[in-house]
A and B are shown apart, each in its own frame.
Chain A
Amino acid sequence: MSKLLNKPLRTFIIYASIVLLTSVPVYFFAVDNIWLQELDENNEIIAERAVYQLERTDFRIHNSDSLFTFWNIIQPNARLEKLDRNKALPADTTYTIYKPHVNPDFKKFKDRFRVLERAFILDGNPCLLIVESNVEETYETVAVIAFITGVFFILLSAGFIVLNRRMSDRIWSPFRDTLHKLKNFRVDEGQTVTFAPGDILEFEELNRALERLMTRNTEVFRMQKEFTENASHELQTPLAIIQTQLGLLLQSDSISSDQYHIVEKANKALARAVRINKNLLLLAKVENNQFSAKEEVSIGSAVKEMVDLLEHEFHRRSLKSEVVVDENLIVYANRFLVTTVIQNLITNALRYCHQNGRVCITLGENRFTVCNSGDKELNKEKLFQRFTVLDEYNPGTGIGLALVHGICRQNDWDIAYSFDAGMHQFEIIFSPTGHGESFSF
C-alpha cells in the first residue's frame, strides 16, 4: 500500500523524466544546428574578408606563388588551392568533415570541422579558398546536454518529494486526526466523537458525515442492547413458570415412565433456553460495562475448582487431561466475569474434545491457555460471533465464545484461537497494564 500523495508523485516523476528525456535530442538538434549555422556564417565572413583582401593584393609587388606557399604554411583557418584553369569556377560548397586530432597523442579522437570552399580568381588564376572551423563533436554535445538534463531531473524529483512530504504533513494532519479518532472509536462504548474544525472543505464534510454516522450507530447499538436486555428479562418469568409447572407435573401420583421422560426432555430443552437467555443478558451487560466492581481475583483457584468439578467428566470420557496451574496468578477484574471466562473455555474444550482425546489447561506467565483435540480448524472469522454453530452435531448455546470475547475486550485482554497439530487452542493474555492489571507474588 502506498500513501495517497505518493501516487501522483510517481506519475509526476515519470512524466518529468519522459519530457526531459525527449528534450535531450531536441536540445541536441537545436544546439547543433545553431552551432553549424553560426560557423557557416563565421566561415563566410572569413572567406569574404580573405578573398576581398587577396583580390586587392598588388601582385606586381607580391609574387603570387610565394603568397600561396606562405599562406598554406600559416594556414590561418583556411587553405588556398590552385584550380584547373580550364574548368569553370565551381559554386561555394559547405560541408562537415572529421579529421584526426593534430596532437599525435590524441590520434584516435577525431575533430569535427565545418568547411566552406569558395573559388575565386587570384592574379588571373582560379583558386579555391577552404575555410575550416572546428565544431564541437556530436557526442560531446549530447553528453553535456544529457548531463544537464539529468541534473535538472534530479533537482525536479527532489523538489517534488520534499514538497510532497511537507504538503502531506500539513494538508493531511486533520485527516490523520480523524483517522486516529475513527480507529479508537468503539460503538459499544457509547462515546461521542467530535472532530477539530479545520479549513479544508472536503475534510470538514467528511468529519460531519462521520459524526452523523457514529452518533447514529451508537444510538442503534444502544437500542439494540436495551432490546436484548429487556427481551431477556421479560423471558425469565414465563420460563420460570414453565419450569415450575413441569416440576409440579412430576409430583403427580399418576405420572408414568413415558410422561416422566417427556417432562425430562422438556426440562432439558428448557434448561438450554434458560442458558441462552441468561448468556444473552449477561453479554448485553458485559457490553454495557455493568460489571464495574473489580477486585484481585486468584485465577488459579477458580481454574482448580472448575477442573475439580469436571474431573468425573474427564474420567467418564477417557480424556487425558494436562493441567498446569500457577496458583499465584492474580488478575484485577470482576470475579464473576473471570469465572465465566474460565467456565466457558474449559467446558467448551471438554464438550468438543472427542473420546480418548486430550485436554490441556495451562495457567501461568500472565496467560491462560486451554486446548483440546479436534478434527479441523474452526472458522476464525465467525468464532466469536453470537449464534455461530461451530459443530452441527453438538450445538451449544452459541453465545459462550461471544461472551468470552466480550469479557476479554472489556478487560483489554488479548484472546486468540489457533489450530495446530490436531489441537484447538484458545489463549488469553491478561493485560499487564491499566485496569486489567495482573501480577504475581
Chain B
Amino acid sequence: MKILIIEDEEDLSDSMLVYLSAEGYLCEYARDFNSAMDKIHNYRYSCILLDLMLPGGDGIQILKRLRELSLADGVIIISARNSIDDKIAGLKIGADDYLTKPFHLSELSARVYAIIRRKNFDNSNIVHHHEIQIDLIAKRVTVHGEEVGFTRREFDLLVYFVSNTGRLIPKSAIAEHLSGDMADMLDSYDFIYSHIKNMKRKLQELGAGSYLKTIYGSGYRWEI
C-alpha cells in the first residue's frame, strides 16, 4: 500500500516516512505544491497525507484536483491550522480526516490504518488477528466467533493498538488519543488504565491471548 506524504518540513516528513515505512507501507514524499501535483497525476496512493501550507500553493487546491479527477485516494489533511472552519472546509471538499500539528506518530498511523481499511482497498475492513476478528465498519469484535461487548471507547482502543502493531506506544499518546484536548488538562494519564484494563479483561474472558504487553510500567505494545 502506497502513501504520499506532502509536507515541506523535511524533519517532519522524514519521521512520518520512517514510522509508516516500518508499518509496512510504501511511502513517498513531495515537498512542494508542483511536485505534489505531478505525483497525484501520475501515481495512485492508498492514502495521501496533505499539509495545507506548501511552498508554491495551497494544499486545498491539491485536494480539489484529486476530487475533480474522481480519484479514490484517501486524504488526511495535516495542518498547523487548528481551525474548525478549515477542518469543516477540508472535510467538505473531500478529505477523509484532519490531523492537527503536532501529533503523535502512533495517532497518525491509526488514522492512516482506519482510512485504508474504510476505503476497503484489498477488502480489508475486516481484520483478523489470531482468534480475534475486528469488523471496522460494523465496529464489532469477536473472539472465537463470539462477540465481545465493547464500549465505543474500548473498541477504539483496540483498533488503535492493532493499527500500531509491534510499536511501543507511550501512555501520553494513548491519553491524547482517548481524550483529545482533555488529556493535558487533567495532567494525569491515569484515566486510561481502567479503559485498557476493561478491554483486556473482556478479550481474555472469551479466551483471547494477551497480546497487549505493558512496557516499562507505562507504555504498551500490541504484539503479534
Using a CB–CB cutoff of 8 Å, the interface residues on chain A facing chain B are 233, 236-237, 239-245, 247-248, 250-251, 255, 257, 260-261, 263-264, 267-268, 270-272, 274-275, 278, 281-282, 285, 290-291, 293, 309-310, 312-313, 316, 334-336, 343-344, 347-348, 350-351, 394, 396-397, 400
Contacts and interface: CB of A to CB of B under 8 A. Distances in A.
Contacts of B168: 250-251, 255, 260
Contacts of A316: 190-191, 194
A400 to B, nearest CB: 7
Contacts of A237: 9, 12, 80, 101
B120 interface: no
B15 A248 contact: yes
Contact of B184 (A248, A255, A272, A334): A272
A267 B172 contact: yes
Given A268-B172, A343-B182, A244 B80 contact: no
A261 B106 contact: no
Contacts of B218: 261, 264
B19 A248 contact: yes
Contacts of A335: 84
Nearest to B11: A241
A274 B102 contact: yes
B60 to A, nearest CB: 17
A237 B181 CA distance: 18
A251 B22 contact: yes
B194 A400 contact: no
Contact of B84 (A250, A263, A267, A291): A291
Given A237-B101, A312-B191, 9 more contacts: A237-B9, A239-B101, A243-B103, A244-B105, A251-B167, A278-B181, A309-B179, A343-B182, A348-B185
B216 A248 contact: no
B178 to A, nearest CB: 8
Contacts of B69: none
B157 to A, nearest CB: 13
B190 A245 contact: no
B205 to A, nearest CB: 20
Closest CB pairs A-B (n = 7)? A240-B102, A247-B105, A244-B15, A240-B101, A236-B80, A347-B185, A267-B172
Given A237-B9, A260-B215, A251 B186 contact: no
B194 A312 contact: yes
Given A261-B216, A264-B172, A267-B173, A244 B102 contact: yes
Given A264-B218, A272-B184, A351-B185, A251 B19 contact: yes
A170 B11 CA distance: 70
Contacts of A233: 80-81
B39 interface: no
A415 B80 CA distance: 31
Interface in B6-23: 9, 11-12, 15-16, 18-19, 22
